[in-house]
Amino acid sequence: MGDTKVIQPEFQNEDVNGKESKSTLVKDFLALIKIGIINSNIITAFTGIWLALFYNGLGFFDHLDKVILAIIGTWLVIAGSCALNNYIDRDIDGKMDRTKSRPTVNGHFSSNFALTIGLLFVTLGELFLFQTTVTAGLIGAFGSFIYVVLYSLWSKRRYTLNTVIGSFSGAVPPLIGWAAIDGNLHIVSWVLFLIMFLWQPPHFLALAMRRTDDYRDAGIPMLPVVYGFQVTKRQIMIWIFCLLPLPFYLLSLGIPFVILATILNIGWIVLGLTGYKKQDDMKWATKMFVYSLNYLTILFVAMVIATLL
């Protein structure tokens, strides 16, 4: 795994134009940088940008340069950090069904290629962010450090608190977005950070319940592996309850938004309590995981819409 060249995939049914080859190479690269994680985080980063413009009375197109720099910079930092995570986890990813087809495991990309892409993207991303504000660059570096060093290298294989530690890095994209426009972080930016921080444990713990066997095989001490489903379910509900007061710190976005956000919070709680003891644990975890995805998208899109009403 220490070779320096990119190992190209072996392709089935490759046509004469190499379309199959290009398609698979693109899919492998998107898997390396974890495009799904990037997409969800770009939504929250853009919301941070948008709300910073709104609260400071600034025009979107008047600051389009900073918007573009912030989006590209955030995208690159997240992509690079994810590639570094793939590099670090290449020994355990092969032990889990969910990750065994990643290009750093199946040999499509060499480990050195993943490391190079990771370091290059994070560096380039930081250069973009520092062209907006110093604060945005520092927050981006802070988030990458937590994800790569404190989460991937240190806590993931040692402590059940790895999910909480990783949540700090997942909560910084809206802060980066806000800081790119306004380096003096408004209280609203910190509320966005808190929402993201509190949202992640129930989201990832529900996923961990669904993938408990995978994590056990890989020796990763996720909460359901070490303490079982009942403790995990209780923790999920506690984190969701902590979200309840946060919409009321965003009253400036209007009563309709606060009502919607509160309904989303209560809906998540009701969903969790309804099947807490009656449903099969896997069905419960799946419902909670799916709800968490919809919750995040609806909530952050609603923040943007609220400023347009």
Query: 19-306: what fold?
Result: Farnesyl Diphosphate Synthase (1.10.600)
Q: What is the tens place of the pLDDT at every residue in 99-135?
A: 888 999 988 999 999 999 999 999 999 999 999 999 9
Euclidean distance between CA atoms 131 and 142, whole angstroms = 17
Ramachandran bin of 145, using left for φ above 0, alpha for ψ from -120 to 50, beta for the remaining angles: alpha
Euclidean distance between CA atoms 305 and 286, whole angstroms = 29
pLDDT the model gives residue 265: 98
pLDDT the model gives residue 174: 98
pLDDT the model gives residue 37: 94
pLDDT the model gives residue 22: 60
pLDDT the model gives residue 14: 40
pLDDT the model gives residue 204: 96
| Residue extents of the structural domains in the chain | 19-306
Q: Return the amino acid letter for 141.
A: A
CA-CA distances (angstroms) from residue 175 to 94, 188, 197? 34, 10, 12
pLDDT the model gives residue 98: 85
Q: Which residues of 169-195 are buried (b: 16+ CB within 10 A; e: fewer)?
A: bbbbbbbbbbbbbbbebeebbebbbbb
Residue ranges in the chain modelled with pLDDT below 50:
1-16
Which residue has tokens 């609203």? 188
Say if CB 122 and CB 80 are below 8 A apart: yes
Q: What is the tens place of the pLDDT at every residue in 131-149?
A: 999 999 999 999 999 999 9
Question: What contacts 108, CB < 8 A, 6 or more positions away?
Answer: 7, 8, 9, 24, 25, 28
- The answer to pTM > 0.75 is yes
Mean pLDDT taken over the chain: 92
pLDDT the model gives residue 208: 96
8-state DSSP, 149: I
Euclidean distance between CA atoms 16 and 85, whole angstroms = 35
pLDDT the model gives residue 10: 35
